[in-house]
Structure 1
């Protein structure tokens, strides 16, 4: 019995089985590589589902967390800390948020969405327009905004008043958004739907409709934000300024943190003292990690790096690949007649971690620090991986 199989047996006997059986038991990581408990190394092309923005054990992040742990890890929300203030200021700066904007820190993306829901309720309205294919989290409030029936139906009835419209359908959006709408909530790039990007014109229309009706425009940048697309936030390329934005995943580089960002006095003032809160949100340890991530992205010019290296995934001429989509280092490889789960397993057997995000597509969200050579090593192995997956599916 290997160390991994022994630990997976213990896992099955001790954990609630919501994740099924894990693929591996990982022991450590270094840069863009992880090692399992049996000593096998893998190139991590998923980075914790777009979380490990700086890869694993990045010196800047390790040092920031260690230094802050020696000073203070948690202080409670009766107080604040310099890292929390500095990180809020930095987020507002890179978001180009106007005066009067604000940040509320959470522990996860789901919690950031919950905060956005409460913000929308303060408009005095209750109708929420969300998109088909959306994924916003698994708590009961966030789940109400998540389109996939398999996630929603076991827990219904959920929060009422949510209307789903086809992503990218301008007329459907026009028909849905009216003066009873509290908010339109959307992901500029829908990650769990298979890395499907909304057009800039669609985002601009959402902004126009919400402005004219008095609704809020909330952009969910939890997966596509923090430099993953080559911009700080995926919506910025469109020129749209939202009313609120949710963040998490890459913000802490692996340390749990999320945020609701409000744009301008009117929106920031919707939530008053005592109307929302969190015990662990904004703790100095997580905020120090967030500062280290943002500082490193800027210092090492990783936004440009993401664009350059990500271009290697454009228009792959590989047998078995039907198309690629996405932007920067948030990508999907659509397969032609090859089951994505079989391709994911073949990739793992070849030493690469990817994700079968849909039955026909592989998702790649590698660390922003991945090198061209590391990504090329996967591309060189891809034909063999897909051939093995094709054989497994026969």
Structure 2
């Protein structure tokens, strides 16, 4: 018997180490998907394992109204590494929950209801986050959804300016779209959205669930674009795959955020894992490493496979390869015949979100495998 939501793949995973996963037959797979960017410092990094195990031996869980050293330390650590003036931290269990909180906080702080989101954007699968998500296939059968949402073309400054008005509580936007196909925008565009929201009194919510934690070559994509949002959301790799999300807010949002709560907000074990993950990211300079290796991968694909792919795009180790045939067939071939795991981002895009610890030899192995399947 299997789970009724997920379509299970024909590879039964047993363990992981660094950039590799191993199945129950002992086969080794180079992991260029990292389970949707959930293992930024590699599978089972010893420091993260040690931090979580040590905490587990002392205390599994205590609710967030009781201060605990691991949680308090994580609050401070996230505030320290967040973009300037973002000092308030709300912890939860996932990216969807982080975005739900962001939408609630923005509506309460502004007293407005309208949310502007972008076409091809993805923000989660619970009712509020789903309402902010563009693709109809995620919404089918779940309506009516939560209220006043308007969608505009991603990257179109004029459309955004027209949509953001005195009724707008927030704009929620990915600085680099992930699920929508690894779609980048210009610095000028994102900075114009910042100006438009500030002028209208709306909150700017940057969804960094996938782009954050060094993925794009900076700790936050906000830093790459020189944009400071009112709210920044993060999750996925925050605790190296243990369930944690965070909503980081400026004071004016946090001071009037309304009544919100969560039973499992910032449990001691996941807080300890998250703190260790951030320590490794910073000490090993993994954002800069992601920028370097990501540029190398993109260059190799363009040089060696240029005639076989339509486009390579992205930043750091968040890379989309638009191919000339169905992505799912290629991904299956990579996995079953070449022991390389990657992800789709639509029907014709291969998405690469490997651990930020990969080296050039891993990149070469991936490009060799992709060359073989395209041939």
Report the TM-score, using the length of structure 2 for normalisation: 0.96
Tell me the equivalent position of 1:289.
Answer: 273
- 1:278 aligned to which of 241, 262, 267: 262
Pairing 1:148–2:135 present: yes
SS of alignment partner, residue 124 of structure 2:
coil
> Conserved in 2, the CA contact under 8 Å of 1:307 and 1:328?
yes
Aligned residues, how many? 369
1:14-62 CA distance string (max 9 Å, x none)? x22x222334221111111111122211100000100111111111111
- 1:32 aligned to which of 15, 19, 23: 19
Deviation (angstroms), 1:189 = 0.8
Tell me the equivalent position of 1:196.
Answer: 183
Report the TM-score, using the length of structure 1 for normalisation: 0.91
Measure, in 2, the Cα distance between the counterparts of 1:322 and 1:360. Answer: 10
> Conserved in 2, the CA contact under 8 Å of 1:145 and 1:162?
yes
Deviation (angstroms), 1:375 = 1.4
Tell me the equivalent position of 1:222.
Answer: 209
Deviation (angstroms), 1:339 = 1.5
- Would the alpha carbon gap of residues 300 and 233 (structure 1) be closer, same or farther in structure 2, given more than 3 Å must change? same
Pairing 1:268–2:254 present: yes
Tell me the equivalent position of 1:352.
Answer: 340
> Conserved in 2, the CA contact under 8 Å of 1:320 and 1:338?
no
Tell me the equivalent position of 2:318.
Answer: 330
Tell me the equivalent position of 1:365.
Answer: 353
Deviation (angstroms), 1:166 = 0.5
Measure, in 2, the Cα distance between the counterparts of 1:116 and 1:311. Answer: 32
SS of alignment partner, residue 358 of structure 1:
coil
Tell me the equivalent position of 1:169.
Answer: 156
SS of alignment partner, residue 323 of structure 1:
strand
Aligned 1:204-219 pairs, distance under 5 A: 204-219=191-206
Q: Structure 1 unaligned segments of length 5 or more: list them.
A: 1-9, 388-394
1:212-245 CA distance string (max 9 Å, x none)? 1100000000000001111011121221111001
After superposition, the CA RMSD in angstroms is 1.2
Tell me the equivalent position of 1:64.
Answer: 51
Pairing 1:183–2:170 present: yes
SS of alignment partner, residue 112 of structure 2:
coil
- 1:321 aligned to which of 305, 309, 324: 309
SS of alignment partner, residue 307 of structure 1:
helix
Measure, in 2, the Cα distance between the counterparts of 1:120 and 1:58. Answer: 36
SS of alignment partner, residue 266 of structure 2:
coil
> Conserved in 2, the CA contact under 8 Å of 1:338 and 1:386?
no
> Conserved in 2, the CA contact under 8 Å of 1:185 and 1:217?
yes
Higher relative contact order (CA 8 A, sep 6+): 2
- 1:311 aligned to which of 273, 276, 295: 295
Q: Structure 2 unaligned segments of length 5 or more: list them.
A: none
1:259-283 CA distance string (max 9 Å, x none)? 01001x21110125xx111011111
Deviation (angstroms), 1:381 = 2.3
- 1:48 aligned to which of 22, 25, 35: 35
SS of alignment partner, residue 113 of structure 1:
helix
Pairing 1:119–2:74 present: no
Pairing 1:235–2:219 present: no
- 1:104 aligned to which of 78, 84, 90: 90
Moved over 3 A (4+): none
Measure, in 1, the Cα distance between the counterparts of 2:30 and 2:361. Answer: 12
Tell me the equivalent position of 1:7.
Answer: none
> Conserved in 1, the CA contact under 8 Å of 2:112 and 2:167?
yes
Measure, in 2, the Cα distance between the counterparts of 1:124 and 1:161. Answer: 13
